[in-house]
Amino acid sequence: MNLGEKLFELRKAKNLTQDDVAEKLNVTRQTISKWETNQSTPEFDKIVPLCELYGISPNELLIGEKTETENNEQSDKFNYDEVKGHLFSRGKDDKNNYENMTKNQIKQKSAEVVSSSILIFFFAIAFSGIGTTVMMWNPVIVGCTFLVLIGWGVTRIVKHYMSVPKFEKTKKEKKQDKVIRQINEIIGGIGVAVYFIVSFLTMAWHITWVIFIIIGMLNGIVKLIFMLKEDDENEE
Domains and CATH numbers, the chain: 3-92 (1.10.260.40), 101-235 (no CATH)
Examine the pLDDT at 220 and tell me if it is beyond 70. Answer: yes
Q: Contacts by 159-168 with C-beta closer than 8 Å and gap 24+?
A: 160/109, 160/110, 160/113, 161/110, 163/96, 163/98, 164/98, 164/106, 164/110, 165/28, 165/30, 165/31, 165/98, 165/99, 165/106, 166/28, 167/28, 167/103, 167/106
pTM, rounded to two decimals: 0.53
What are the tens digits of pLDDT across the range 160-206?
888 877 766 778 878 888 999 999 999 999 999 999 999 999 888 87
What are the tens digits of pLDDT across the range 33-53?
888 888 888 887 788 888 888
